[in-house]
Amino acid sequence: MKVCVIDDDDIYQFLLKKELKHTNLVDRVNVFTDGQKAIDYFLDNRHSESHLPDVIFLDINMPIMNGWQFLEEFKKLKTRLNKHIPFIW
């Protein structure tokens, strides 16, 4: 399983990554400190399903592009991803 964490809190990132890897269910965790970096990653990798996450952990309150703004941009992008990706916030 591939997981994407979009959160600007270093401690939350560290603890979530540690817990996810501890489950032995997660192969890869990509971390982004704001929504814009995540959108850029999805755009760059939209043709490679193996690089796209299976689930996204999303913080709402972040700098540059917050979680609500990310969701609006992701809505526009998701039809081009060819993969359903659920969110947890």
User: What rounded mean pLDDT belongs to the chain?
Assistant: 94
For 2-88, CATH number out of 3.40.50.620, 3.40.50.300, 3.40.50.2300, 3.40.50.150 equals 3.40.50.2300
The answer to whether 85 touches 52, Cβ cutoff 8 Å, is yes
> Does 80 have pLDDT greater than 90?
no
Q: Does the pLDDT at position 82 exceed 90? A: no
**For residues 24 and 89, which has the higher predicted lDDT (pLDDT)?**
24
pLDDT digits (tens, 9 = 90+) for 60-74: 999 999 999 999 999
Average pLDDT rounded to a whole number, residues 1-27: 95
20 in Cβ contact with 26 (< 8 Å): yes
